Amino acid sequence: MMQSTPYTLHCRSSECAARRGEVRTRHGIFQTPVFMPVGTQATVKAVTPENLVEMQAQIILGNTYHLFLRPGHVLIENFGGLHNFMNWQGPILTDSGGFQIFSLKNLAKITEAGAAFRSHIDGSKLFLSPEDAIHVQQSLGSDIMMCLDTCIPYPADRVEAQRSTELTSRWARRCREAHSKREQLLFGIVQGGMFPDMRCASAEALLDIGFDGYAIGGLSVGESKELMHEMTEATVPCLPQEYPIYLMGVGTPADLVEGVWRGIDMFDCVMPTRNARNGTLFTSQGRLVIKNSQYRDDPRPVDENCSCYTCRNYSRAYLRHLFTCREILSYQLNTIHNLHYYIHLMVGIRQAIEEDRFGQFRKDFYSRQGDQ
């Protein structure tokens, strides 16, 4: 059962599956391909919404599991939803919490009914069904909601992968049936482990239900880059091209380039923010580890080709000083730079697709910095 689509295709690459489009939400339109900064607990770590606006972020993420635990979806709903609560007026996507529950391992038990788990905060017993996941996200008021899914560990044998994938499909149908606020978009999540035929069967089951967009889950869970790209390439053709396609939790700058090459529209990852806090900065020439002694008296910006607030105003020497002294400002300035790099990498990708030169863009990317 096909839904009306929020996606508009503008153009395609003549060299690969890359495409340029846009997605309509009730809090505005975002251009694709897009990178979405991760704001798990109603904040993108170390930066303000104003910082995000300045760096031209279009859409950010929140997480159902974490916001369900604290401060609670009812409290957020009483504040008029997540947009008002965190003072971000652009589109928001909320992940269902399936990956977080998966990562709890011994603290969670997955059954047909849903996920029983213990809070990682205080150990209290909690339960989240597919219907609960939708109810919580509707209370949060996100623009794009995700179905609750079961993430498959790597490696997993075919029997385990099939059992989990079929449960994800049954949960997806329950999520769609619980979805009452249709102004909020709902995406289904393809699983299937590392088995291409199973991923296509998962996609087919989701298409039978009908969603506003489709995500590829269960990748970047320990498999090789080659296998991740192989699974992406096998899955995208099984999904309808009239809808947005989202590769969840991926990844490095090179992963974004390779994902776009294979037809992905949407990405998210904690890598730019987490690496910023650890002192690793992404630049047009490759990674830069700011704590290294060679930057002690370096007057240059992090990246002379970057127009972010950090690069316009601060030297490598100052950023190294902040980081080695563990000053809080280090986190903010490094994060501003890394997110700006990711967001403007996607700006360049979109322009390259529009001008039908994405193949050359990809070659130039690797010649400048190699595989990040």
Rama region for 249: left / alpha / beta (φ>0; ψ in -120 to 50; rest)? left
Please name the residue that has the structure tokens 């385990």.
Answer: 160
- The two three-digit tokens of residue 279, written as one number: 């002192």
Among 95, 143, 149, 255, the active-site one is 95
Phi, psi of 145 (to 5 degrees): -105, 155
Catalytic, 95? Answer yes
Identify residue 232 by its one-letter amino acid code: T
Q: What CA–CA distance (Å, rounded) separates 267 from 30? A: 13
Q: What CA–CA distance (Å, rounded) separates 181 from 134? A: 10
Hey, CA dihedral for 252, 256, 261, 265, is it positive or negative?
positive
Q: What CA–CA distance (Å, rounded) separates 59 from 33? A: 12
Q: What CA–CA distance (Å, rounded) separates 44 from 85? A: 13
Q: What CA–CA distance (Å, rounded) separates 58 from 74? A: 26
Angle, CA of 247, 146 and 242, to the nearest 5°: 60
Among 212, 255, 265, 268, the active-site one is 268
For residue 81, what are the CA distances in angstroms to 21, 28, 108, 114, 132? 28, 16, 28, 25, 17
Catalytic, 371? Answer no
Q: What CA–CA distance (Å, rounded) separates 51 from 73? A: 25
- For 286, the 3-state DSSP assignment is strand
Identify residue 299 by its one-letter amino acid code: P
Q: Which neighbouring-strand residues pair with 36?
A: 268
- For 254, the 3-state DSSP assignment is helix
Residue 30 in contact with residue 262, Cβ under 8 Å? Answer: no
Identify residue 286 by its one-letter amino acid code: G
- The two three-digit tokens of residue 327, written as one number: 């000053």
Q: Which residues are catalytic?
A: 95, 268
